[in-house]
Amino acid sequence: MQTLKRKAFLSNVIIVAVTLFLIIPPVITLVNSLFKDVTTLMPSAFTLSFYTDLFTRGNAIGPAIIRTLIVAFVPTVLMMLLMLVTQFVIRVYFPKVDKYVDILSKIPYGIQRVILAVSILSLYGGSDSFLSNRIFLVICAYGIVILPYMYQGIKNALNTIDVVPILESAAILGANKFYTYFRIIVPSVKKGLLATLLLAVGILFGDFVLINILAGSYFPTLGVYLNEIRAVSGHSASAVSVLMFAVMLLLSYGVTRLNRKA
d(CA 98, CA 109): 18
Nearest CA-CA partner of 176 in 185, 167, 187: 167
Name residue 157's amino acid: A
Say whether pTM exceeds 0.85: no
Ramachandran category for residue 224: left, alpha or beta (phi over 0 → left; psi -120 to 50 → alpha): alpha
Q: Could you list the pLDDT tens digit for every one of the 262 residues in the chain?
A: 566 667 777 888 899 899 989 888 888 888 888 888 877 778 888 888 888 888 887 667 888 888 888 999 999 999 999 999 999 889 888 888 988 998 888 888 888 888 888 888 888 877 777 777 888 888 989 999 999 999 999 998 888 888 888 888 888 888 888 888 888 888 888 888 888 888 888 888 888 888 888 887 778 888 888 888 887 788 888 888 888 888 888 888 877 776 666 5
Residue pair 229/51 in contact (Cβ under 8 Å)? The answer is no
